[in-house]
Amino acid sequence: MTINYAEIRTHDIANGVGVRVSLFVSGCEHACPGCFNPEAWRFGFGEPFTEETEARILGALRPAHIRGLTLLGGEPLHPRNRSDVLALVRRVREAHPDKDIWCYTGYHFERELLPESERDSILRQLLEEIDVLVDGRFVQARKSLHTRFRGSENQRILRVRESLAAGRAVLWEGA
């Protein structure tokens, strides 16, 4: 593994449905004004993600009350992070097939991720492993404290498999 991570939360209730394990992957080039976590723009920020880190995440996901894993950043879908994040989500799927996976990304689904996923099979495979995607840059002028699971109103919560199959954003409408 070559990625770094800023933080792991083992009981996160803010970033997806239920009580979740969340992993903040370092490295982001979107440079959104007002970013909540600019230190994590550096790919070397935080700690190296090791086999022990992976084991810790798999263990933290084990209790029945933990609903799933959330990937945040930084930018978990940046080209430099994709293959390691894919390896992790595959291990999570294998060990915990009953848990769901959410991912936050600054990329826009139709404008950026869909066309790029036709060129980059790693990205395509990674998207196929994710259940729910919160997409789009953080836009300070559209920041709202009332948007559930989102930082700004332009961001959307998408069902990824349905969106990939349809070739357009299919909104997640809650659980």
List of residues contacting ligand SF4 (CB under 6 A)? 28, 30-32, 35, 37, 40, 73-75, 106, 137-138
In the complex, what is the shortest distance from the CB of residue 138 to ligand SF4, in angstroms, rounded to a whole number? Answer: 4
With contact defined as beta carbons under 8 Å apart, do 70 and 15 qualify?
A: yes
Residue 55's closest CA among 4, 95, 9, 100? 95
Rounded to whole angstroms, the Cα distance separating 146 from 103 reads: 20
141/175 with CB nearer ligand SF4: 141
54/75 with CB nearer ligand SF4: 75
In the complex, what is the shortest distance from the CB of residue 152 to ligand SF4, in angstroms, rounded to a whole number? Answer: 9
Q: Which two tokens stand for residue 174?
A: 């809650």
In the complex, what is the shortest distance from the CB of residue 32 to ligand SF4, in angstroms, rounded to a whole number? Answer: 3
In the complex, what is the shortest distance from the CB of residue 94 to ligand SF4, in angstroms, rounded to a whole number? Answer: 28
Rg (the chain; Cα; Å) = 15
Q: Which residue is nearest to ligand SF4 (CB)?
A: 106
Q: Which two tokens stand for residue 40?
A: 């994590």
Supply φ then ψ for residue 54, to 5 degrees.
Answer: -60, -45
Q: Which two tokens stand for residue 175?
A: 């659980």
Distance of CA 40 to the CA centre of its chain: 14
In the complex, what is the shortest distance from the CB of residue 51 to ligand SF4, in angstroms, rounded to a whole number? Answer: 26
Supply φ then ψ for residue 8, to 5 degrees.
Answer: -125, 130
45/172 with CB nearer ligand SF4: 45
Supply φ then ψ for residue 49, to 5 degrees.
Answer: -85, 115
46/106 with CB nearer ligand SF4: 106
